[in-house]
Structure 1
Amino acid sequence: MKKSYLLSPGPTPVPERVLLAMAQPVIHHRTPQFSKIFAEAAEKLKTLFHTKNDIIILSSSGTGAMESAVANCFAKGEKVLVVNAGKFGERWGKIAEAFDLKVTWMNITWGECANPADVKAALDADPEIKCVLIQATESSTTVKHPIKEIAEITKSRDVLFIVDGITGVGVFDIPMDDWGVDILICGSQKAMMLPPGLAFIALNDRAWARADKVKNTNFYFNLKRERKNLKDKTTAFTPAVSLIYGLREALLMMEEETYPAVFARHVALGKAVRAGTSALGLKPVTKHLSEAMTGVFLPEAVNGKKFVKVLRDDFGVTFAGGQDSWEGKIIRIAHLGYFGEFDMVIAMSSIEMALDKFGHPVKFGAGVGAAQEILRDRFEVK
């Protein structure tokens, strides 16, 4: 028997409580029973997003919510600024171009974060730019962007600030209304502790005002239609009923832990992973650290693609490797969502053993011990 461990930044493990909630018999989505569950989940999401605005729940991946933000708020030919610091920043630009928007690319070296001064300079240079599109965490590089600081720049202008928080919401605090984020997006398969299949999007009054002026040619991702249905505690089309069951349970679990404790756990687990990988001589890919995941460069003699494959197929531990120019060079270790202290110990132990198998000199226990030193204070024995 080989036990499997999922330590990728998405999908992430799903708690047993959530799995059991989703295992309940499927009910019809046009019933008072479903409306009650749906409304409870939608209301709890508002607390997580720190917003008074409605949260639209879509049956799609997070990319569906990204597309809906673009399709509903901009007309063909309008200009948008895309902060491109990795694969998912690039995705923003590709979506915008698919809807015939004029994209101004702010290309950032992988491993670096957006500089708010550069964003301001780009907006000053072109007053026709209607929006800034960015990630909270750029998952491909593990970089955390300065969302609060950029929101300070956009909220005083006629420029929407749209944040892909798929690897952010539920990981660390993003108070949407207080910061002035106009549209905030999330997906189900990361910090939300659910399987893939749901996306969440919140628009503030500025964003809805734009959406009301734009003729939306997108049939399925029509946010005005979804907002109207939300008032009746339902969706425009058939929702993922079982995932909504799971969503309500996952949000209840986070409330029971409390959001400050959830965020603090992510911080502590991240510190443990960085201590462990540092003790093994693995260098971080960025100094702009996210609470969601840690990326490290592997030794030059180690083939990263094979390394990740051996961990998955031989050891039963799934991490994420690198993409594009970082393919075969890095490993990404998740610590968001349904992860605890001993998951990080397993992560360090498996990396030590894999490095040894690849002939890299390793002192067994170095990474594990360094992680434990960070995590020991997380436990109070009564």
Structure 2
Amino acid sequence: MQMEQQILRIPGPTPIPPSVQRAMSQPMIGHRGQEMQALLEALKGKLKPIFGTKEEVLLFTSSGTAALETAVVNAVEPGEEVIVIVSGAFGDRFTKICEEYHILVHRYDVTWGEAASPDQLQHLLQKHQDVKAVFATFCETSTGVLNPIKDLASVVHQYSNALFIVDGVSCIGATETQMDEWGLDIVVTGSQKAMMLPAGLAFVAASKRAWEAIEHNQQPRFYLDMRKYRNKLEENSSPFTPAVSLLLGLKQAIALMEDEGLSTIYKRHQLMGEMTRNAFHALNIPLLTKDTDGSPTVTAVRPADFSAEALRKVLRSEFGLTIAGGQQHLKGAIFRIGHMGYCNPADVLQIISLMEIGLRKINKNIELGKGVRAAQNVYLNNK
């Protein structure tokens, strides 16, 4: 194997399209000049359809976790009550952020690998009637679950006056998101997943009712103050030094998304998820999630009779193929395959083919080509 050749198929960061890399290599421009103003003016309108909103999408030079913290610190005050849906490591992260700010958290713990239940959420809302917000993870990256955000939002608004705040880091741009129509009050994501960029940008959008809460929130905040970003964005500027190169890349990434069309992007990701899942079904290798709960952007596999870490190691050493392991109590028990952003069905066929060889290398008795054939049939039947 050529050591410089790497095949990155983890659920973030994801590969970068060559044209986006070239865009980020453009000469630096002044972050307070007219060129930057023109860039921000163009970007702010183009981000709205990806979120399914007419509201402004704020741009932060930060990680996705900073976006989660932004949602917490702007919407909720110390001492207030919230419900956090914890279906994996990133729901748990929402809990930790809330607790750090002395917010009273009622956890709705979901078995890892399962989707949150709207009925269970309804029960909690009826039990805790003073909650200020409900936090949920759209795609739980650690388990490969896509939570039923539309249905959860409906329950939140039917049974409470709480804000519904959504972590969309590993699916916005790959999964249909209708923030306004579904009643999502704050939605956040990061640049390094389906948005096809390096890490370093975060995106936050808020509904009108969320903005009312933000305006009246007495919680101190400085760098993560959404009001600063909204006010500066109205002037096509930013309150602090932006990641100029990433913004230049973002313009090109959105151009690629516009060329393909959002509905086509969503279908492509759904297809890749189905190809991946059906391949492992054909190989009789268990998945962590049910097909009805599985995400179109990441698939979690829970082998019963071979080592997930042994497979990851041989794929890395033999082919330069990097897939992700498990997190927290699933560490060593699962492996995760990212198929989002700059990824297409041909990449999925490559992944499955290499995995079959890797499985044979670690003495897992499988029929070569069986998984690939199943993935091929899914592709053909979807055309």
TM over 0.5: yes
Q: Tell me how far 1:205 sits from its aligned partner.
A: 0.6
1:163 aligned to 2:186?
no
Decide which of 16, 22, 25 is 1:14's aligned counterpart: 16
Residue in 1 that maps onto 2:105: 103
Structure 2 Cα separation of the partners of residues 355 and 255 of structure 1: 38
1:323 aligns with 2:327: yes
Consecutive unaligned residues in structure 1, runs of 5 or more: none
* Contact 1:276–1:368 (CA under 8 A) maintained in structure 2: yes
Q: Deviations over 1:79-110 (max 9, x none)?
A: 01010111001000000001110000111111
Per the TM alignment, residue 307 of structure 1 is displaced from its structure 2 partner at its CA by 2.0
Which residue in the other structure is 2:36 paired with? 34
Show the counterpart of 2:295: 290
1:253 maps to 2:245: no
Unaligned 5+ segments in structure 2 are none
Paired letter, 1:294? T
CA distance in 2, matches of 1:138, 1:94: 16
Determine which of 119, 122, 139 is the counterpart of 2:121: 119
Q: Is the 8 A contact 2:59 2:204 kept in 1?
A: yes
Structure 1 counterpart of 2:300, one-letter code:
G
- What is the deviation of 1:378? 6.2
Deviation at 1:74, TM superposition (A): 1.2
From 36, 46, 67, the counterpart of 2:69? 67
Cα displacement string for residues 130-152 of structure 1 (whole angstroms, at most 9, x for unaligned residues): 11101001110111111011111
List per-residue Cα deviations over 1:145-182 (Å, max 9, x = no partner).
11011111223432000000011211111100000000
Quick one: distance in 2 between partners of 1:153 and 1:203? 19
Aligned AA (1:311): L
The residue type equivalent to 1:293 in the other structure is: V
Q: Deviations over 1:299-319 (max 9, x none)?
A: 43x222232122123321011
- 3-state secondary structure, aligned to 2:319: coil
Q: Which piece of structure 1 moves more, 212-221 or 13-22? A: 212-221
Partner of 2:119: helix, strand, or coil?
Answer: helix
The 5-angstrom pairing of residues 223-262 of structure 1 reads: 223-262=226-265
Task: Give the match's secondary structure for 1:33.
Answer: helix
> Partners of 1:262 and 1:28 in 2: how far apart?
33
Alignment-derived partner of residue 357 in structure 2: 353
Deviations 1:260-301 (A, max 9, x none): 00000001111111121111111111111111111111243x
Deviation of the 1:377 alpha carbon:
5.3
Identical amino acids, percent of aligned pairs:
39
Q: 1:181 aligns with which of 159, 179, 184?
A: 184
1:304–1:327: 8 Å Cα contact kept in structure 2?
A: no
Closer/same/farther in 2, CA of residues 377 and 17 from structure 1, 3 Å limit: farther
Query: Does structure 2 conserve the Cα–Cα contact (< 8 Å) formed by 1:305 and 1:327?
Result: no
The size of the alignment, in residue pairs, is 378
One-letter identity of the residue aligned with 2:122: K
Paired position in structure 1 for 2:60 = 58
Name the structure 2 match of 1:215. 218
CA distance, structure 2, for counterparts of residue 376 and residue 150 of structure 1: 34
Please, what is the CA RMSD of the aligned residues? Answer: 1.2
Instruction: Report SS of the residue matched to 2:107.
Output: strand
C-alpha distance in structure 1 between counterparts of 2:261 and 2:174, whole Å: 13
Who is 1:194 aligned against?
Answer: 197
> Take 2:316 and 2:107, find their aligned partners in 1: how far apart are those partners?
36
**SS of residue in 2 equivalent to 1:10:** coil
The answer for the alignment partner of 2:136 in structure 1 is 134
| Other-structure match for 1:93 | 95
Shift in Å, 1:368: 1.3
1:370 equivalenced with 2:370 (yes/no) = no
